[in-house]
Chains A and B, each alone.
Chain A
Amino acid sequence: MQVALEVNGTPHEVDVQAGEPLSTVLRDRLELTGTKVSCGEGTCGSCTVVVDGRPVLSCLTLAAACEGASVRTVEWDGELLARLRDAFTAEDGFQCGFCTPGQLMSALALLERSPSPSRDEIVAAMSGNLCRCGAYEGIALAVGRAAGESD
């Protein structure tokens, strides 16, 4: 079926299968491979993207249900995401980087709904994004840093 959606500000018409997840559309059809699939069953957060302002697990989101949606991925060139990238770099908020696109997207959604989050809010918002390298300290500091710089 045909689905019209906007990805990182660009409109796309994609022909998707009924059970196809959004992650596959992004990665295989639109070649936006920044979004990573690590568990494929909604338990790790690596595939997180922002859909209409909310962080969603793209491996569990049906592409067919994204008609008219505005999707943002790690490839987005928005100013807030650029600030998050700088903060993740400065605070060493990643090691292997495989979970990082999902971390950035969860952080982006958090800062858009809560521009000055407390440490507890940051931890709550980021706790669905697993990082096996254990870059959590840098992640928490980076989200706080990006928020602080928005003032």
Chain B
Amino acid sequence: MAKLVKTEAVVEGRTEERWTLVEEDATPEWAPDASPAVIGEPATRLTASARLTGTARYTSDIRLPGQLEAAVLRSPHAHARLTSISLDAARGLPGVRAVIGPGDCPDFDGDTVLHEEPPYAGAAVAAVAAESAEAARAALIALDPVWEPLGFITDLEQALESQVFQDDPSDYERGDAEAALGSSDVVLESEYVAPAQLHNSMEPHCAVADWRPDGVTLYSSTQAIYQARSQISAAFGIDSDRVRVICHYMGGGFGSKFGCGHEGILATELSRRAGRPVRLVLSRREENLTTGFRTPARVSFKIGASSDGRLQAVEASAVMGLGTGGWGYPVLEPVKSLYACDNLHLMTLPMRQNLGPAAAFRAPGVMEGTFAFEQALDELAAQVGVDPIELRRRNHADADPGTGRPYTSKRLLESYDLAAELAGWDGRDALRGEGRIRRGMGCASQYWWGGGGPPAYAEVRVGAAAKPVLTVGLQDLGTGVITACAVVVAERLGVRPDDVTVRAGDTDLAGHGPFSGGSMTLASIAPAVRSAGHHVRTQLLELAADMFEISADDLELVDGEVRSADGTLRHPLLEVTEKLGNAWVRGSGSRAPNPDGLAVNTFGCQIAQVAVDTVTGLVTVERIVAVHDVGRIVNPMGARSQVIGGILQGVGFALSEERVVDPTTGTVVNAGLEDYKIPTIADLPEVVCEFVGMPDPKLALGVKGLGEPPVIPTAGAIGNAVAHALGVRLREAPYTPRRVLEALG
């Protein structure tokens, strides 16, 4: 029976309390030492055929009858006032079907979509829909805007001086940091600067809106179909049940695509006015000016420790550049929660700048903070003469340092052991060399949430073909969550994962599901999927029991067969299901809350090995050993791919990725992929990937999240490795050849 319960969920560091509808989950947990069939075995992606033959329809591939193409006029100035615009001139051009300017478009979650006083270069001012992309672009020229440039601030230090905050500053105190610093044996002061990293999902932000008298359908490249539905519903005053959001295939998001985005609001408004479907696909440059970035941050530490390296106190501040959006991402969370330290004073200052809005980017805040703090810890280790991994062990937290709550499980110490062994940590000093090429090895720890939670719902049905169909209310960015869900169903019903059909990415389907973010998706949905599968399993076994005149308790589903426990009875499941005709056996499941009073976290350790050319300044990441504790691994093939992908984004952050803003104009000078450099196949290091997380005994199915963890420690480990190689520490990433050579003097 369904009931409403109040539950607590941690979403990227923000704790939310919410009511949620849950059904009883009667699925028995496996014994701790059991290895359920299919789960934990490598499974290839369910979406492989569609994605590899070109039949997968992404949002930018949608073409509806009568569809118009949209384009957006954007401010070229870092801050300006629009003094005139010729909307009517654009309306008079051939093929133009709708033109909107400031005041013509509903707000998006309280934000202006079309600006009269655009606050950054790239901010939208007007939009058009026309019969072709060329006609839309011609209409933009006809708009003939006149600007009055205004003063602007893009530089982070200037933003700090201005004291204009984009989000509330945070001030966290634990114990008495000032007093404890005064009595510490050792005090270390250090500062790190993290770059603005641009998401650059390969599929740009895009939307196709189809406004009809009875409701609207929005095809959206989104990480959250239900959030997109709520936003369209609120912006246009339509009941959410009359808004349908579809995202069948998605080309990456990495945090930048929550909800419908401005593009969804604009496409919907244009479709409403034109009475035709409208497609809006952002260009790569619009993407890099307007859709978000990992917040640049200057992080300063004053660390007090005992002479044997135990943390006594940390004072830290993080000045973050949020541009015109986003929120105060938890940059200092690693200081607060990764190690045992009784005395803290932590301040974050999320500044406003005349730049596009920040957006969550895979482990927002925590990745940047880990980059800084894990390097400061290495400096401390050097100062007190303790091995860096040993220093981390000495500061291990046995319970959540902020709340005192015990962890559901924690295997960070095992992560250190295994990573050190795999990397050859003990021999690291012998690597260094004295010639032109210097080598080094560095480590960093990883802390994140990832326990998932309700609400998440799933439906499973099995028809005559004995092939399960799973319906889940979520979307797959490309992480492989759909395949992982199929693995979970396959286990309950004794079939192979590729026997399972998964229907997802459509709010008109049954089952509200989680957004794709915060490393929460699989941990949220998998227990619901298993519960739904279990209900179907129970019914199928009862049908088989009646047919074969045996107790259902003595039957199991294995390899597409109904078998008795003693092996004497063995029939294809098809023999049972073919009696169903066109009927289905159905089951639904929902996600129950996590246990109260416990901290649910993921942990890990990465060790980087780098080679630095002291003549050219080029840093090469040769090897990353990644050991993570993320609970039960559902699909080791997909898990390894997630880890490598996260590591590569960390390599980019450390070595080559940095949004550059021209201080004289306040505009981004590298918004294209020829000069904003994301890693290529030639930058791929050798990756050694292991998981120490056994199934978490306190969580349904034992699963925790994996999306964020691998990106978190990579850049810090690389920073420590570069410092180990050179004997000089770089304060600012990315470690471009110029910065390396400057550091070497």
Contact = CB atoms under 8 A, between A and B. Distances in A.
Do A and B belong to a common assembly? Answer: yes
Interface of A: 17, 27-28, 31-41, 43-44, 46, 73-75, 85, 88-90, 92, 94-101, 104, 123-124, 126-140
Contacts of A43: 284, 672-674
A135 B251 contact: no
B401 to A, nearest CB: 32
B52 A134 contact: no
Contacts of B61: 27, 33
Which 5 residue pairs of A and B lie closest in terms of their CB atoms, listed nearest first? A34-B54, A96-B478, A98-B251, A97-B51, A134-B648
Contacts, number: 157
B202 A98 contact: yes
Given A33-B54, A95-B645, A127-B682, 13 more contacts: A38-B251, A44-B202, A46-B202, A74-B54, A89-B45, A94-B48, A94-B51, A97-B251, A123-B682, A126-B681, A132-B252, A134-B648, A136-B680
Contacts of A100: 51-52
Given A98-B202, A100-B52, A104-B52, A133 B645 contact: yes
Q: Which residue, of B47, B199, B201, B478, has the highest number of chain A Cβ atoms within 10 A?
A: B478
A100 B54 CA distance: 9
B251 A137 contact: no
Contacts of A133: 202, 252, 478, 641, 645
A28 B645 CA distance: 32
Main secondary structure of the interface of B (DSSP, over half): loop
A136 B56 CA distance: 21
B252 to A, nearest CB: 4
A31 to B, nearest CB: 7
B54 A35 contact: yes
Given A38-B202, A44-B673, A134 B44 contact: no
B661 to A, nearest CB: 20
A89 B641 contact: no
B68 to A, nearest CB: 13
Nearest to A31: B63
B45 A96 contact: no
Contacts of A36: 58, 60, 202-203, 251
Nearest to B48: A89
Contacts of A135: 641, 644-645
Contacts of A140: 681, 684
B76 interface: no
B62 to A, nearest CB: 9
B13 interface: no
Contacts of B254: 132
A119 B201 CA distance: 27
B684 A136 contact: yes
A48 to B, nearest CB: 13
Given A36-B58, A43-B674, A89-B45, A136 B478 contact: no
Contact of B52 (A40, A41, A74): A74
A147 B228 CA distance: 44
A68 to B, nearest CB: 24
Interface string B627-661: 00000000001101100111111000000000000
A41 B284 contact: yes
B163 interface: no
B53 interface: yes
Interface string B321-346: 00000000000000000000000000
